[in-house]
Amino acid sequence: MLEVENLIAGYGGADVLRGIGLEVKPGEIVAVLGANGVGKTTLNRALSGLIKPRAGTIRFLGQEIAGLKASAIVAAGLIHVPEGRRIFPNMSVRDNLVLGSYRRGKPAREANLERMFELFPRLRERMGQAAGTLSGGEQQMLAIGRGLMGEPKLLILDEPSLGLSPLLVEEMFALIARIAGEGLAVLLVEQNVVQSLELAARAYVLENGRIVVEGASSQIAADPALKHAYLGL
């Protein structure tokens, strides 16, 4: 459903991504792994329209989306839950979620909201509270919830386990497995290599703006030399 070819993107005069190709199939969880500064976040920003790629194609559900504005890409069903959550701290939990369904009509919105509260009971309890007062884990739940409110077909999760306690990290990965189990494709961008490889069917390893390894997660997990070279394990 997502096919990326020869994607080049960056900031100012410098290219961060230097020819990326990757693919996500319907219902699949795909991991993008790599150390800090290899271009993972830039890749996400280019896919979701926050920056314009310099070259290459991004096809999503058969439509070319490279260079479209972010709101149009959200409308097409590709939704990026950013690193650092980027929730609206001064607004209520409910308003944060509802804004995720900004483009949908009222009935769809209410139904989506009910679904989120079932998925995240904690958010129902804190519905009227300002989002900025939530704990880190709850804020991450809220960010994912806001993404799901937009009825994505492919969800990009950027470092969803960052800054969470080990227990919450477990919970987060269980949650990702659960939403993917409902047929949603997930592109998981993570530094948590071990758990990402357990969850994802396939993985890409990014280094210096290029994909250096790709394959089934089990293969990558079973190759100690590879893990040592690129993933610091």
Partner 1 sequence: MFAPDIILAAVLNGLMTGSVYALIALGLTLVYGVLHIINFAHGATLTAAMFAVYVAHAVFKLDPYIALFIVTPLFFGLGYGVQRFVIGPASHGEDRNILLVTLGLSILIENAMLAIFRSDTRSIDVPYAFSSIDLGFTFLALPRVLAFGVALLVALLLGLLLTRTDTGKAIRAVAREKTGAALAGIDVAHIYAVTFGLGAACVAIAACLLMPTFYVTPRAGNAFVLVAFTIVVLGGMGSIPGALLGALFIGVVESLCGLFFGESLGQIGIFLIFILVLLVRPTGLFGARA
CA 13, CA 229: separation in Å to the nearest integer?
29
Q: Which is nearer to partner 1, 49 or 137 (CB)?
A: 49
Region of 89 on the Ramachandran plot (φ > 0 left; ψ -120 to 50 alpha; else beta): alpha
* Closer by beta carbon to partner 1, 14 or else 225: 14
Residue 92 has what DSSP assignment? Answer: B
Rounded distance between C-alpha atoms, residue 57 and residue 214, angstroms: 19
The least distance separating partner 1 from the CB of residue 96, rounded to whole angstroms, comes to 8
Cα–Cα distances in angstroms (integers) from residue 175 to residues 54, 91, 168, 194, in the given order = 35, 25, 10, 16
Nearer to partner 1, 47 or 197 (CB): 47
Least Å from the CB of residue 147 to partner 1: 8
* Structural tokens at position 98: 């509802």
Q: How far is the CB of 100 from partner 1 (least distance, A)?
A: 5
Supply the minimum distance, in Å, between the C-beta of residue 83 and partner 1: 10
Largest CA distance in the chain: 53
3-class DSSP state of 36: coil
Q: Could you give phi then psi for residue 90, rounded to 5 degrees? A: -90, 0
By beta-carbon proximity to partner 1, the closer residue of 84 and 232 is 84
- Residues engaged in binding partner 1 (CB under 8 A): 48-50, 69-71, 74-75, 79-82, 85-91, 95, 98-100, 102-103, 146-147, 150
CB-wise, 25 or 69, nearer to partner 1? 69
Least distance in Å: CB of 54 to partner 1? 15
> For residues 99 and 169, which CB has a smaller minimum distance to partner 1 in the complex?
99
**Shortest spacing between CB 216 and partner 1, in angstroms:** 30
SS3 helix, strand, coil % of the chain, rounded to 5? 40, 25, 30
